[in-house]
Structure 1
Amino acid sequence: MTSLETLFLDLKNIKVIDSTIPYSQYFSLDLSDSNTELKQLNQSNAIEFEAYIEFYLKKNKATVAYGGYNENRSLYKRSTFFNDLNSDERNIHIGIDLWIKAETPVLAALDGKVHSFQDNNNLGDYGPTIILEHQLENHTFYTLYGHLTRESISSLKVGDFFAKGQQLASLGDASVNGDYAPHLHFQIIKNIEDNLGDYPGVCSKNKLAYYLDNCPDPNLLLKITK
């Protein structure tokens, strides 16, 4: 059977935020521990971090900052949600982030139905989140959209159908999105197990091999870079 990753290679024209923004206006953003600029920034302050994102976009004449797959970040140290004393530290990001202003339209990557949704309102969590279920040849898989507005899930129902490119939601601000600068966390999930409205978007080093296999690089689908 053809792998899901191989099937992604043939898919075209997929956007998950405002389709009027061309990829030429996207610019890669490094939020890893190796970025020395971040050491001068209070990453736990959403307002300060949003100002940094806006400055970064302006400096690079871009509209969207993107990146973060398989990226080791110190951003999560502020929250016990990621750093329970009884478990391994979760600090490796396994989705892609698209940083842009709040209220930006969020689009369904492909035809799919609502698998589940939830307001994950812990500090540093996703906030309002939607998971879509998709079928591609013999594969069932899922896409997760995190950091949305509460209005995005207020009238949603499990089983609702969304066509590829249809507006699914809008991006939330720091007051609802887990206390982050506005952005979309987009993630592909092969086996969602019994998770509903939530799925880990950050993992520990010990579990990285599993999550990289179960959550392929979203750029295989989006093709922001080729």
Structure 2
Amino acid sequence: MRQSQVVRRVGTAAGLGAGTAGALAGVLLLGPLAASVLLVVVFALVWPLAAVVRHVADDAPYGSAVLVAATAAGAVLCLPGMVRLLAWGALGVTAALTFAAVFVLIDFAVPKRHPQQRPSRRQRKLERLTETQLVEDEQLIASLQCPLSIEELCGVWTETATQLAQGAGPRDRQAVAEVRRICLDEFERRNPDGFHRWLDAGAPADPGRYLLPTPGD
């Protein structure tokens, strides 16, 4: 394990321990009823906002809006508790350090689990392709596997390049990629020499210059 990861783990665990001590001191300072009301109010304010951010963002920095709201509520309760611990002097500081040390020991004693990465919004859109849409795409691709002339295939290649440049949705990009793969296979099968000359030239947008016979040939 890298040193930076160890330092991060120790710092996080120690912070949670000290925060827990502050939260308990906050309960003692405010009383159970007032502390409960404070937790509920902060949670109710933060949770909808965190849920909206998680829904809108392509790659949300957190996995659960409930966890964010609970953390915010605990942090708000922790602030007056930390003030109370500091007011206790050495006893309060010792209590906070003790909680921090206990949490660090627990963190190293418990096996570390790797959290599952939440798919991005774009990936979730791709996963939502229905079976009907997939069948429609397959039918479209099958219709393009007819014996088109090489001139028509070059036209299809140019049109799909324009479509990609203008921006296409996830479903369209998937179908266009398969169509272009078919075009590449046909280019290589029908005119291998021209196909390789086209690739050597960097595969420009108009393959007809390399694949179609020039006038006079």
TM range (shorter): under 0.3
- TM-score of the superposition, structure 1-length normalised? 0.19
- Higher strand proportion (structure 1 or 2): 1
Structure number with greater CO (CA < 8 Å, separation at least 6) is 1
Q: Flag the structure with larger Rg.
A: 2
- Higher helix proportion (structure 1 or 2): 2
